[in-house]
Amino acid sequence: MDPVIEAQLTLPHVSVQLATVNLTEARDVLPGTSGYNICQRLSDDHAPLRIGNINAREAFPRVGSVGFLPPGCAVRLYPMDGPFRVLNCDFEPAHFEAVTGFGQDIWEEHTGALVSIRDRRLELLMQEIHAELVQPDYGQATVVEAVASMILIEMARYGRRLGSAGGSGQGLAPWQLRRINERLALALEQGYPGLDELAALCGISQSHLMRSFKIATGWPIHKFITEERLRAAKQMLSAGEINAKEIAIRLGFRSPAYFATAFRRMTGKTPTEYRREAQARAAGSG
């Protein structure tokens, strides 16, 4: 089935697009253009995508996951149990290669590792483009172009990490990252885990966990957990169902005042200011 296009923007070196696809049978899928395609999963009501012709069993294991395909690389996708909503960024090949410093042969060599990229910074940059497409505002093209340039730099860094690891990754295995993400998903009920618990889940030492997590994702694990707590705080503040004191307790901050200070340091806004702005945006879009 052809994708349903929700929003799109075409710029000199990149085109971005929000789309929804329903896969009811196995099919070989090519990137939307002849360029380098970076895409992000937006839907949350289905399992990871199963793939069959690349050395990786699945892609997009969770909401926000990012995948990559070089020009002309088809991937076989199997049916899903729900619509797949995705953000696509298609980069013009010559520009992509000039900025990253790598040609197509290098990217094709590591397709198995790139079909499901574990890089938190890249995920956040894609979310910035998603926000611009969902709520376009003054300077949209300039913002998207700037963020796209940052994505290319992050891909250049990711490519160099692959090269320094000899192509083997030397980071955490997919099952280890999955265990970490599954444990963090339970954090509101069970509390946020310490490094000792996460290391035990992965069957490695804490030092190995910190080193391998950085290689696999590009993020120090402490910062990754902090970002997860911030994301959860934003969601709860936007929902408006519980107050900041209860949010602080659920997220494991030692006091509401410490939560407010930490939130403002990371976002530039107090929890009250963020909630007020989120509710105003929701009312405006309604």
The segment with the largest mean pLDDT, out of 39-53, 89-103, 217-231, is 89-103
Looking at per-residue confidence, does 3 or 46 come out higher? Answer: 3
Residue 169 lies in a domain: no
Same domain, 39 and 145: yes
The range of the structural domain enclosing residue 80 comes to: 4-164
C-alpha 262/C-alpha 259 separation (Å) is 5
Same domain, 254 and 132: no
pLDDT of 30 strictly over 80? no
Same domain, 114 and 181: no
Segment 100-129 mean pLDDT: 84
Looking at per-residue confidence, does 149 or 228 come out higher? Answer: 149
CATH, residue 111: 2.60.120.10
pLDDT of 103 strictly over 60? yes
- Confidence tier at 141 by pLDDT (50, 70, 90): very high
pLDDT in tens, 155-200: 998 888 776 654 444 567 767 888 888 888 888 888 888 899 999 9
Burial class (CB in 10 A: 0-12, 13-18, 19+), 145: middle
CATH, residue 245: 1.10.10.60
Last residue within a domain, chosen from 140, 164, 188: 164
pLDDT in tens, 35-87: 899 999 998 777 777 666 555 556 777 788 898 888 877 777 776 767 888 99
Strands, DSSP E only, in 44-141? 49-50, 58-59, 66-69, 75-77, 84-91
Last residue within a domain, chosen from 109, 133, 164: 164
Per-residue model confidence (pLDDT) at position 167:
40
Q: How many CA atoms lie within 13 A of 4 on its CB side?
A: 8
Instruction: Look at phi and psi of residue 72 and say left if phi exceeds 0, alpha if psi is from -120 to 50, else beta.
Output: left
Task: Determine contact, residues 169/216, Cβ cutoff 8 Å.
Answer: yes
pLDDT in tens, 229-260: 888 888 888 888 888 889 988 888 888 898 99
Domain count within the chain: 2
C-alpha 4/C-alpha 222 separation (Å) is 38
Question: In 3D, which of 122, 152, 142 has the Cα closest to residue 41?
Answer: 122
